[in-house]
Amino acid sequence: MSDKKIAVIGGGIAGASIALYLSEIGLKVDLFEKGTSLVNGPPICHLHAGGNLYREIPDEQCVTLLEESIEALRLYPDSIDYRPTVIAVPKHDAGQPLDLLPRLTLLQDEYQKLIDKDSKNKVLGEVNEYYRLVELEELQHLATLDEKKVPSTAEEWLIPFAKHTDLSLLKFPVVLVQEFGWNVFRLGATAALSLEKNANCQIHLNSQVTKLSQQQPEKWQLGYTKNDLPAEHEFDYVINAAGFKTGEIDDLAGFNRDRLVEFKAAYVTHWKGTDGFWPEVIIHGTRGTPQGMAQFTPYPGDLVQLHGMTEDITLFKDGLVESAKNSSQPQLDEKFLRKIDKGWLEHEVTTRGQRAIDHISQYIPAFKTATVAGKPLFGAQQIPGDDSTLRTAGVSFESNHYARCEIVKASSVLTCADALTEKLAELGFVDKDKVGARLFPITDTIEDQAITKRSELYTQQRGYPIALAYRNIKQEEECYA
């Protein structure tokens, strides 16, 4: 085992997953997180196994998202909501449903290639069922059927959408695609439980990094405060995975990098709903306009998470900022930092939450009876470079034992980890056969029941409804019987 010591700064999805990966292959890792628990950042709810939510990104990014999502699903299977996604184009939108068809067939072919490469990649169902085009006539027929508490076929998943969506507002066909949900609380619980069990990793919570300097080549002095007490350690390698604060760590280390930071929010609502469990629903729209994309994400306990890609709902005026010449850290306005550090004002929660309800109710009229169920899921997201539409990003390196992991979508973490492991193998920190090994012996021992218990704790600690800790219909039945 290598005696080299690695510091990972930031305990979000990227930092926790990188620390998990490296400690699983035998490297000594110290993970520094300024918060009280791991993976407490921007809201994720969707496993982008193809990226079909984003019409504006190129096909090559979608192929990357497909591959990375399959890898992430294999690492964190107990955090996945196994339900499909309906994608629809409204009549007022300039796009056409069949515009997605070339991409969908490409992704279907790529999925087959990944299975041919490794049969364990078959995690999105049968290849010929990756997507399905659904015409108006079929939906009209499905609307006459009874909803299912436990959908088991594509048709059964479509019934509630068919019954309760105003189909007169949509273009046809709509698409049913195997892009699943992803539960951020369960992901964080899995990572934390694995790292706590791994003697190779030391987790430092409530720890703010305040200093990074090199007194000698290839050695870093890292200073931090833990529970307001100063401390300092020496490390052989530093990995900056500080999320939207990545630029602050770059500044401490003396490195320059252009990046964007965007503040976004999703809204937790309660809806008695209908008789069946819904798929996720995406209604396409032009980002940043009053008719931006509407996203309806169902959870157990009659909870629905909502995104509306307008400046009045998920996006914010002046919420996208870029780094300045004298700093790698883009500066969010104080009103956003106040939300991150101190919380939301009550009127902000109710006003924006109601706007989200109104936005989706355009298409699902019965949803107008929904109510805001608590504070939003929110946070700031870093995007390297200057392209705000970028959805696939990974790791970048400096010459002196320093790297940064800047993911935009959570599924990119294993791509980052592979690149980092390859670099560490070049430096002699780890054997080359560890690169891309995808072996997680400790993580694989974490039981679903333990993940659920820790997820419940996280929802309560962070002030969210406990039902967000559960991921599927079976658990819902167990918890609400």
Print the domain residue range for 168.
68-181+260-379
- Same domain for 402 and 365, yes or no, is no
pLDDT of residue 382: 82
Q: Are 476 and 300 in contact (CB under 8 A)?
A: yes
- Same domain for 157 and 80, yes or no, is yes
271 within a domain of the structure (yes/no): yes
Number of domains in the chain: 2
Confidence label for 393 from pLDDT (cuts 50, 70 and 90)? low
Q: Which of 6-10, 70-74, 165-169, 391-395 has the lowest mean pLDDT?
A: 391-395
- Same domain for 277 and 354, yes or no, is yes
Q: Percentage of the chain surpassing pLDDT 70?
A: 96
- Same domain for 248 and 120, yes or no, is no
pLDDT of residue 479: 37
Domain end call among 352, 379, 406: 379
229 within a domain of the structure (yes/no): yes
- Same domain for 285 and 366, yes or no, is yes
Q: Which of 35-49, 249-263, 364-378 has the lowest mean pLDDT?
A: 35-49
At 438, is the secondary structure helix, strand, or coil?
coil
C-alpha to C-alpha distance for 481 and 479, rounded to whole angstroms = 6
pLDDT of residue 43: 73
Angle at 409 between CA 471 and CA 54, to 5 degrees: 95
Q: What mean pLDDT do residues 450-465 have?
A: 96
| 63-85 pLDDT, tens digit each | 999 998 999 999 999 999 999 99
- Report the CATH number at residue 206: 3.50.50.60
- Same domain for 289 and 159, yes or no, is yes
Asked whether the predicted pLDDT for residue 288 surpasses 60, the reply is: yes
- Report the CATH number at residue 132: 3.30.9.10
Most confident of 135-144, 372-381, 411-420: 135-144
- Same domain for 117 and 210, yes or no, is no
Query: Using alpha carbons only, how large is the chain's radius of gyration in Å?
Result: 22
Q: What mean pLDDT do residues 215-237 have?
A: 92
Confidence label for 391 from pLDDT (cuts 50, 70 and 90)? low
pLDDT of residue 354: 98
Asked whether the predicted pLDDT for residue 193 surpasses 80, the reply is: yes
- Same domain for 403 and 437, yes or no, is yes
Measured between alpha carbons, how far is residue 174 from residues 62, 97, 167, 171, 177 in Å?
19, 7, 10, 7, 10
- Same domain for 369 and 397, yes or no, is no
- Same domain for 161 and 191, yes or no, is no
Asked whether the predicted pLDDT for residue 436 surpasses 70, the reply is: yes
Confidence label for 192 from pLDDT (cuts 50, 70 and 90)? very high
Q: Percentage of the chain surpassing pLDDT 90?
A: 78
pLDDT of residue 478: 41
Q: What mean pLDDT do residues 368-393 have?
A: 82
Higher pLDDT, 3 or 429: 429
Q: What's the whole-model pTM score?
A: 0.92
Asked whether the predicted pLDDT for residue 331 surpasses 50, the reply is: yes
- Same domain for 152 and 271, yes or no, is yes
pLDDT of residue 41: 74
Q: Are 404 and 396 in contact (CB under 8 A)?
A: yes
pLDDT of residue 472: 67
162 within a domain of the structure (yes/no): yes
Confidence label for 481 from pLDDT (cuts 50, 70 and 90)? very low
Q: Which of 177-181, 216-220, 308-312, 457-461 has the lowest mean pLDDT?
A: 216-220
Nearest to 335 by CA among 352, 314, 312, 317: 317
Asked whether the predicted pLDDT for residue 392 surpasses 60, the reply is: no
Q: What mean pLDDT do residues 355-381 have?
A: 96
pLDDT mean across residues, the chain: 92
Asked whether the predicted pLDDT for residue 480 surpasses 50, the reply is: no
pLDDT of residue 476: 42
pLDDT of residue 1: 55
pLDDT of residue 276: 82
* Placement of tokens 């700031």 in the chain: 380
Q: Are 302 and 273 in contact (CB under 8 A)?
A: yes
- Strand locations in 1-151 (E): 5-9, 28-32, 80-81, 85-88, 131-134
Domain end call among 329, 351, 379: 379
| 240, β-bridge pairs | 9, 404
196 within a domain of the structure (yes/no): yes
- Same domain for 174 and 194, yes or no, is no
Confidence label for 10 from pLDDT (cuts 50, 70 and 90)? very high
